[in-house]
């Protein structure tokens, strides 16, 4: 029991980023289907603005 060493945790960063992209894609398609292209573009602009603000704040 005491001989078991704990290894490094796997790095799931790439998998998480890919799934974020997949989820964003289907959410945008759903919004586009329900409310149209303008609603989807508005959400994209809001997300872009929020990400830009976070990047400026962090760096």
**Measured between alpha carbons, how far is 59 from 56 in angstroms, rounded to an integer?**
5
From the list 13, 16, 34, the residue with the least C-alpha distance to 24 is 16
Q: What digits encode the pLDDT tens for the residues 32-44? A: 999 999 999 999 9
Asked if residue 3 has pLDDT above 80, the reply is no
**Measured between alpha carbons, how far is 15 from 22 in angstroms, rounded to an integer?**
11
pLDDT band at 5; cut points 50, 70, 90:
confident
């Amino acid at each position: 029991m005491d001989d078991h060493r704990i290894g490094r945790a796997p790095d799931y960063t790439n998998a998480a980023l890919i799934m974020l992209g997949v989820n964003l894609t289907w959410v945008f398609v759903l919004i586009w289907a329900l409310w149209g292209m303008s609603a989807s573009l508005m959400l994209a602009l809001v997300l872009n603005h929020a990400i830009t603000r976070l990047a400026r704040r962090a760096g």
